[in-house]
Amino acid sequence: MGDRILIFYGSYRSDRQGIALAEWLVGAFAARGAAAELVDAKALDLPMLDRMYKEYPEGEAPPALETLAAKISAADAFVFVAGEYNWSVQPGLKNLTDHFLEEWYWRPAAIVSYSAGRFAGARAGLAWHGILSEMGMVVVSSTIAVGGIGHAFDAAGAPAGDGGAALSHAFPRFADDLGWWTEAARSQRERRAPPY
């Protein structure tokens, strides 16, 4: 079985443009042999964070949290598809991630940012780097930033225009980087239990 990769997407907007990017990433990783799955914050519709998953008595967490906690704990790696809202992160994606903590530990994460503008969500990507590191993930150095997201995919969901061309060019190295860290982390977890 290939690497188990969860791809997180967090926009709640009615005409979400980044969803095409998230869906393309699922297919691109699957084409490389990974077991990739999209986790869409809007589809999960978690409540605003009141209590983290770990703060519920055993067996009393809402079913959506139980299911997602098991998926996160079983995953080998994570990809965060990060739209930029006002120079910062999407609240829907941040809310989803904050429901968990230990479930993220000791696995690599990668960031794919996007925006309608020419900065391609780079400021959100930078913010996510610190957030994910604080939450116990190793953030790989390769990133992808897609500008002009509204024109980066055609009607069939294939990369198009300058943004799509940049994505197609950057993806192989990005995936190789994540794959290397995924293998390294899995091997280390098999060799020695994490210290906490």
Kindly report the CATH number assigned to the domain that includes residue 126.
3.40.50.360
Q: What percent of the chain has pLDDT over 70?
A: 99
Residue 104 near residue 115, CB atoms below 8 Å:
no
Domain holding 181, by residue range, is 4-191
pLDDT in tens, 56-109: 999 999 999 999 999 999 999 999 999 999 999 999 999 999 999 999 999 999
Confidence band of 161 (pLDDT split at 50, 70, 90)? very high
Residue with tokens 């999209």: 38
Average pLDDT along the chain: 96
Say if 43 falls within a structural domain: yes
**pTM higher than 0.85, yes or no?**
yes
Confidence band of 196 (pLDDT split at 50, 70, 90)? confident
Distance CA(174)–CA(93), nearest Å, equals 21
pLDDT in tens, 5-46: 999 999 999 999 999 999 999 999 999 999 999 999 999 999
In sequence order, the β-bridge partners of residue 145 are 113
Query: How many domains does the chain divide into?
Result: 1
Say if 196 falls within a structural domain: no
pLDDT in tens, 119-159: 999 999 999 999 999 999 999 999 999 999 999 999 999 99
Assess whether pLDDT exceeds 80 at residue 1: no
